[in-house]
Structure 1
Amino acid sequence: MYSKLIKTLKFHNFLNRHRVKSMVILTLLVAYYFCLPKTLFKDPTATVITSDSNELLGALIADDGQWRFPANDSVPDKFKLCILQFEDEYFYKHPGFNPVSIFKALKGNLNSGSVKRGGSTLTQQVIRLSRKGQSRTYFEKLKEIILATRLEFRLSKDEILNLYASHAPFGGNVVGIDAAAWRYFNRNANNLSWAESATLAVLPNAPSLIYPGKNQERLLDKRNRLLRKLYNNEIIDQLTYELSIAESLPQKPYPLPQIAPHLLQKVAKKNRGERIKTTVNIALQEQANTIVKQHYNHLKQNEIYNISVLVLDVKTREVLTYIGNSPTDDAHQKSVDIVDKPRSTGSILKPFLYAAMLDAGDLLPNTLVADVPTQFGSYQPKNYNQTYDGAVHANEALSRSLNVPIVRMLQEFGLDRFYHYLKALQLKDLKYNANHYGLSLVLGGAESNLWDLCKSYAALSSTLNHFNENSSKYYSNEFCQPIYKSDEIINFGKQSTQKDVFDAASIYLTFESMKQVNRPQSDESWEYYDSSQEIAWKTGTSFGFRDAWAIGTTKDYVVGVWVGNADGEGRPGLVGVQTAAPILFDVFDLLPKSNWFNQPFDEMLEVKICKKSGYRASSICDATEMQFIQASGKKTEPCPFHKLVHLDVAERYQVNSSCEAISNIINKSWFVLPPLQAHYFKSKNPYYKPLPPFRNDCVESSGISMEFIYPNQQSTIYLPKDFNGKTNDLILKVAHSKPEIELHWYIDSEYIGSTKDIHDMAVLPSTGEHIITVTDELGNSLKHKITILD
């Protein structure tokens, strides 16, 4: 303790005696400490994206026009050995400068009378590169030495070497080993040969004079001398040396890979000048690029120029493939990324309505829904094939993408209720209220984008997966945004017994229906092949043939495809099943085969279902089966289409106690559709039998009903003309529950005739508004208002 005190006193005495010297030394130390800028290099860098395996997907040149990649965290071993042998053999031994090299350089320069050698170490060269535009004088050299020693205190040797490799010039507008490897050899720097590494090692020595394509003989000589030195120092063996000097030099720069150019654009918006490792699988991306190119070459013959494809991993929500556009040209907006652009949805939202109605308990999977001519005010939906089935099972209406039954389902379910479900899916392009879209919302009246739609389908699949994997629990954040950066992880939220949007059973039953969608012609017999996988998928085609969609999901993957023209031009044949679906299945063929979804039994009930109507079976349904339905479906009504009818012994006529003894009456269940539905249904379903007529001696007690087949209420009709200019008749059609009854027809109270059995009436009304009235012989009447235009 005493000795320490004595030393402290002596030090203070020394400072008092040499105060000026002490201040000078302290000032110099402080100046030395702060002489080196905190950030040596502030140059803009290129935006670089790599795959999930760190392979280059693409790069966007730096803002100053230089191919300068963001600094990597290491230097390739071969290049490291080459640059040390060529530039600075004692790099790991000197303190930032090499006195011997400096002395030799100074002596040589004095003897020659000019600056011939610099004697700079790699550390000094890093300092020189950071101090751009400084003249090469002895005073500047002194500054470099001071700053180099300071840099040695701040960074490790490997960090200094990495700085050099990242910022050294390699000729032209190429800066850094990573950019140089791709520009001159079209490969990653870690995959360079000894000859290629040696070539790059000698370039920074005189990058303005010697680089690929310029002064080839001098470059070859310098490279081979370095290779000889590597051989003499036993870094490479004789065979490697001989093979290396036999390699040719690169002649001109290669273009950088552009495997995912539109994803690069997306990254550059938020991470410009950064190196981003993405979730993209490079093999899958390249194969999908090839598929898109093949289909583009075919579709462009029909003047269809743009395609986008998105592939998501359901479990991780990672983007595996991102194709923003086809390899078209600038005239057809090649650079436009269509993945996140709003486009008319066509029928692609129909599964969401089906799932919503199941989820709300308003529908069972096989429930019969009406498919007849329908008009809501001025809106008159049409099926794509312009025909009607009369009545069709709901799941078949979805799988066949029938417009009329779906719109009728929406009208019954409620536009606002469905809109609420869509908003819960977080479709950002739904910018207006429900009334703005109207009932056309489900047929393409709204817009969405491929990103949001794929996200939503992935969320449905993930909801079902998580429910089955986590003891019938849901996650609170299933409908989260997909990710394309490898360092991001999806947070699915907390587990709960409460569903996020749709319950698992409704999703499963929706997927079961979507699995039955007719595949493109090349895949239409897919179920007979063991190699084929089950896919829940849906197509969509917008009005005017402007947008074609196909989105499909398995337990593990979602694939989404959009086809069309970026400028919105419609084309004949631009239909989802013909243009987008073949691409969808070609991409699915690249993916590992997935098992089908497990059935979520905890959200389902087994009930007796009427086979013919798809409703819960009533006590009089004649053909039933046990089916699993969603739990909410237990509140649906029993079958309304089966009626108990009373027949005579021969079962040819309906009878009652007014004309037949009760002991002779046979009670039988009969499947009966409303007249208009029955009119269309029986033409496509030969098994359908209308009710037998009442026997003539019976007093009929059952209700009579009739409906217009054509025209619809409030219809506006243009009467066509034939080749001779004669106006064709208007054919009025009515369906009656008792077709044998005679009907009487009137236009504006003027009697025009009667019909029996087949109730079609040809008329030629004048232009303007008219009231059509039909009455039967029992006094029942029906009225319709129409407008005739010339």
Structure 2
Amino acid sequence: MSATSPADPAGPPKRSGGRWWRRLGLAVLAGALVVAGTVQGGLALVRAGAPPPPQAPVSVEVLDRDGRLLRPFALSDGRWRLAAGAADVDPRLLAMILAYEDRRFEGHSGVDPLALLRAVGQAARSGRVISGGSTLTMQVARLTTPPRARTLGAKLDQMRRAVQLEARLTKAEILGLYLTLAPYGGNVEGVRAAALTYFGKEPRRLTLAEAALLVALPQSPEARRPDRNAARARAARDRVLDRLAAQGLLSADEVRVAKAEPVPALRRPLPQLAPHLTGEMAAARPALVRHGLTLDGALQERLEDLLRERTRALGRGLSAAMVVLDNDSSQVRAYVGSADFTDRARAGEVDLARAVRSPGSTLKPFIYALAFEDGIAHPETLIEDRPARFGAWRPENFDRTFQGTLSVRKALQLSLNVPAVRLLEAVGPQRLASRLQQAGARLELPPGAAPALPMGLGGVGIRLIDLTMLYAALARGGEAQAPVFRREDAMLAPPRRARLVEAVAAWYVGQSLLGTPAPENALGGRIAFKTGTSYGYRDSWAVGFDGRRTVGVWVGRPDGQAVADLTGRAAAAPLLFDAFARIVRTPAGLGPAPKGALMAGNARLPPPQRHFGRTRQDEPLQVVFPPDGARVAGADAQALALKVDGGTFPLTLLLDGRPVARAEDRRTLFWTPQGRGFARLTVIDAAGLTDSVMVRVE
């Protein structure tokens, strides 16, 4: 029988069956390709119709110079939603989120079919929904659209929107939206707001327990809020730990330690450092979401604590303000507008660093600086501290005593009033005011008033921020620069500095202020500082600097009421020294003397600088011409000159006892002889001093 015989059962049937399976396989493949093509075509249509990516509003943030959060601002509806990305989050938290929520996040296109099949299977076996099969992208789609009931149509719409999101955004951007929008209970949204609210820190470094809680809360944020239901929060956290352990991501020991950690029982307030300044900066540029300032957040926090603590000890109603400037750059390192922003009894919301107040004696160093610049005084120049009248005004010292003759340096250190007014009279009040204003300080005088001598003792209004800037100019060699608040401004070319005083004059002032007596229990000679007390004990001040920083302090009542015995030395100076102790352990030196500085004692000064105000009016009255016993030619009855040195105007000349001439402002008087012979000439000054000469007229 041949191999092709019909009786052979293995022949034709085998060939027919093989063709059938081949045809079936080709049909299935063709159908799969058609379905795949249809799906891909549908997905392409969905992607093509994708709207622009969502723009979720986020809270405005103000950051310090190192990027630390100083203060966030809630959205208009009261929600806290801080922008976040992968770089803002602990890498372990990111790994836990992906492992728990969406293990194939990097591989799918918005929808994970395997996750959907798993969710359907779990629901079929248990009769209830175990998991929704949603990807992170689908959750972002839900969070960026108006809320809808949980229906099949809503789920399909999420899937469609997820595919569109994947077409418009990168995986990193989608993950950032989830980290920003995920709900954490109440008005807290996003992982950063949650970490700050529940743990008091940014989510960059978390414990395993903290990370697990942040993974668990978005699944049911209200039911699991730890501040309202700690037991549910703990149970949800522990389930996250168990599942991740089952996946092999955590060890049994790690899980055991994490479960032993308690969940937070209370919500913490979000940071609110430098509330006055951050509010002002945010309002000035409302289009910005993130504002970077030059403040040092850690220093700001320490100084706010310091002022809060010390003003409570000073008494009810009292407040304080403080500004810290970097001398080289004029960047603001700390800005405390009041002792406690939330304390209504102290008017905490009032920014006292910008309030216009009387500066007391704190403008005196600039009077002395102008006198040094003009060459009419030197730190070793002697000056008189004695009762004096300036028009109708007769200033007195704070303790109502006088020191007599002393050096200009000592007069500044002791903050004596009469020497300061003497110097201000010499340099001119208008000139002082012009210099301060040209340097950028705002001065306020009563309407229609002009700068006058009382401004040297506090008769003008000024702000703490401006006064601190002026002292920073002294520390900088006499060059003034406006305070810098924003980081972006600090990176620009520094603005042109205004010359407040010459470098030598600024150095003289700084060296003099180094010797100002320190307050009790403080070490002197380390910072140059000046205190001030306004009339009626309404304002107390202390401003000081070392080689790197300038600190200004104001203490008083925001309403301007007087406070008995509230002086700059007793109230503000201790705060100044405590602030420097919190800034640096050892203050930096003021630097070497600039070129042109004269290092000499009083005896080696040029004669005009040895004693300020010692003019010929203070010297003994003396007729210097003609000399006693001289012969003068004057028989022709022509007027002759008589010259006088010293004495006090007006001067009166007597010829043989009869007044013949008077001089109001000159030291040469003229007389006419009455003929040949002897004549006695006598000069009398306003103080009654006299001097006489006898001459022979020929």
The answer to whether the superposition gives a TM-score over 0.5 is yes
Is contact 2:383-2:419 (8 Å) kept?
yes
Query: Is residue 578 of structure 1 aligned with residue 570 of structure 2?
Result: yes
Task: Note the C-alpha offset of 1:279.
Answer: 3.2
- Amino acid of the structure 2 residue aligned with 1:505: V
Question: 1 CA distance for matches of 2:346 and 2:256?
Answer: 51
Is contact 1:307-1:561 (8 Å) kept?
yes
Question: What pairs with 1:169-568 in structure 2 (closer than 5 Å)?
Answer: 169-270=183-284, 274-300=289-315, 303=316, 305-327=318-340, 329-430=343-444, 435-463=449-477, 478-485=480-487, 488-489=490-491, 491-493=493-495, 500-523=499-522, 526-527=524-525, 533=526, 535-568=527-560
* 386-395 or 59-68, larger mean C-alpha shift: 386-395
- For the aligned residue pairs, the C-alpha RMSD in angstroms reads 3.8
Question: 1 CA distance for matches of 2:509 and 2:72?
Answer: 42
**What's the secondary structure of 1:64's corresponding residue?**
coil
Q: 1:26 to 1:505 in 2, by over 3 A?
A: farther
Is contact 2:46-2:163 (8 Å) kept?
no
Question: 2 CA distance for matches of 1:71 and 1:340?
Answer: 34
Is contact 1:347-1:442 (8 Å) kept?
yes
- Amino acid of the structure 2 residue aligned with 1:314: N
Is contact 1:455-1:482 (8 Å) kept?
no
Is contact 1:127-1:148 (8 Å) kept?
yes
Q: 1:191 to 1:705 in 2, by over 3 A?
A: farther
Question: 2 CA distance for matches of 1:229 and 1:237?
Answer: 11
Match of 2:652 in 1: none
**What's the secondary structure of 2:490's corresponding residue?**
coil
**TM-score under structure 1 length normalisation:** 0.68
Q: 1:200 to 1:700 in 2, by over 3 A?
A: farther
Question: 1 CA distance for matches of 2:447 and 2:173?
Answer: 58
* 109-118 or 356-365, larger mean C-alpha shift: 109-118
- Amino acid of the structure 2 residue aligned with 1:310: V
Is contact 2:47-2:163 (8 Å) kept?
no
**What's the secondary structure of 2:595's corresponding residue?**
helix
Task: Note the C-alpha offset of 1:313.
Answer: 1.7
Q: 1:319 to 1:127 in 2, by over 3 A?
A: same
Question: 2 CA distance for matches of 1:222 and 1:243?
Answer: 16
Task: Note the C-alpha offset of 1:367.
Answer: 3.2
Is contact 1:122-1:161 (8 Å) kept?
yes
Question: 1 CA distance for matches of 2:285 and 2:358?
Answer: 30
Task: Note the C-alpha offset of 1:304.
Answer: 5.3
- Amino acid of the structure 2 residue aligned with 1:479: Q
Query: Is residue 616 of structure 1 aligned with residue 597 of structure 2?
Result: no
Question: 2 CA distance for matches of 1:163 and 1:341?
Answer: 43
Match of 1:590 in 2: 582
Match of 1:695 in 2: none
Is contact 1:86-1:202 (8 Å) kept?
no
Q: 1:299 to 1:216 in 2, by over 3 A?
A: closer
Task: Note the C-alpha offset of 1:583.
Answer: 0.8
Is contact 2:143-2:182 (8 Å) kept?
yes
1:410-429 CA distances to partner (integer Å, 9 max, x unpaired)?
22222222221011121124
Match of 2:6 in 1: none
Match of 1:37 in 2: 52
Question: 2 CA distance for matches of 1:492 and 1:137?
Answer: 61
Is contact 2:330-2:481 (8 Å) kept?
no
Question: 2 CA distance for matches of 1:234 and 1:704?
Answer: 111
Question: 2 CA distance for matches of 1:403 and 1:421?
Answer: 21
**What's the secondary structure of 1:526's corresponding residue?**
coil
Question: What pairs with 1:128-167 in structure 2 (closer than 5 Å)?
Answer: 128-167=142-181
Question: 1 CA distance for matches of 2:153 and 2:108?
Answer: 21
**What's the secondary structure of 2:133's corresponding residue?**
coil
Task: Note the C-alpha offset of 1:509.
Answer: 0.8
Match of 1:599 in 2: 592
1:30-58 CA distances to partner (integer Å, 9 max, x unpaired)?
8844633344313x51x434444444444
Unaligned runs of 5+ in 1: 1-24, 465-474, 528-532, 626-635, 647-655, 659-671, 676-698, 708-735, 739-775, 779-790
- Amino acid of the structure 1 residue aligned with 2:329: T
* 144-153 or 101-110, larger mean C-alpha shift: 101-110
Question: 1 CA distance for matches of 2:445 and 2:181?
Answer: 48
Task: Note the C-alpha offset of 1:508.
Answer: 0.4
- Amino acid of the structure 2 residue aligned with 1:598: G
Question: 2 CA distance for matches of 1:332 and 1:95?
Answer: 58
Q: 1:378 to 1:313 in 2, by over 3 A?
A: same
Task: Note the C-alpha offset of 1:310.
Answer: 1.6
1:237-271 CA distances to partner (integer Å, 9 max, x unpaired)?
33211100111222221223444333433333235
Q: 1:235 to 1:317 in 2, by over 3 A?
A: farther
Question: 2 CA distance for matches of 1:549 and 1:88?
Answer: 61
Task: Note the C-alpha offset of 1:581.
Answer: 0.5
Question: 2 CA distance for matches of 1:252 and 1:419?
Answer: 54
Question: What pairs with 1:695-710 in structure 2 (closer than 5 Å)?
Answer: 705=685
**What's the secondary structure of 1:191's corresponding residue?**
coil
Task: Note the C-alpha offset of 1:557.
Answer: 0.7
Unaligned runs of 5+ in 2: 1-39, 630-645, 650-678, 694-698
Larger radius of gyration: 2
Task: Note the C-alpha offset of 1:435.
Answer: 4.0
1:576-625 CA distances to partner (integer Å, 9 max, x unpaired)?
1111001111111223324422334434457x7753xx96227xx9xx89
Is contact 2:347-2:558 (8 Å) kept?
yes
Question: 1 CA distance for matches of 2:149 and 2:472?
Answer: 60
Q: 1:207 to 1:339 in 2, by over 3 A?
A: same
Task: Note the C-alpha offset of 1:180.
Answer: 0.6
**What's the secondary structure of 2:372's corresponding residue?**
helix
Q: 1:50 to 1:365 in 2, by over 3 A?
A: same
Task: Note the C-alpha offset of 1:371.
Answer: 3.2
Task: Note the C-alpha offset of 1:143.
Answer: 3.1
Q: 1:118 to 1:381 in 2, by over 3 A?
A: same
Q: 1:115 to 1:703 in 2, by over 3 A?
A: farther
Task: Note the C-alpha offset of 1:393.
Answer: 3.2
Question: What pairs with 1:75-90 in structure 2 (closer than 5 Å)?
Answer: 75-90=89-104
Q: 1:610 to 1:55 in 2, by over 3 A?
A: closer
1:290-347 CA distances to partner (integer Å, 9 max, x unpaired)?
43234223211xx451011122221232222222211383122122221122111111
Question: 1 CA distance for matches of 2:615 and 2:388?
Answer: 23
Question: 2 CA distance for matches of 1:353 and 1:565?
Answer: 28
- Amino acid of the structure 2 residue aligned with 1:421: R
**What's the secondary structure of 1:537's corresponding residue?**
strand
Is contact 1:463-1:504 (8 Å) kept?
yes
Question: 2 CA distance for matches of 1:416 and 1:642?
Answer: 27
**What's the secondary structure of 1:343's corresponding residue?**
coil
**TM-score under structure 2 length normalisation:** 0.77
Q: 1:394 to 1:491 in 2, by over 3 A?
A: farther
Task: Note the C-alpha offset of 1:461.
Answer: 1.7
Question: 1 CA distance for matches of 2:421 and 2:492?
Answer: 36
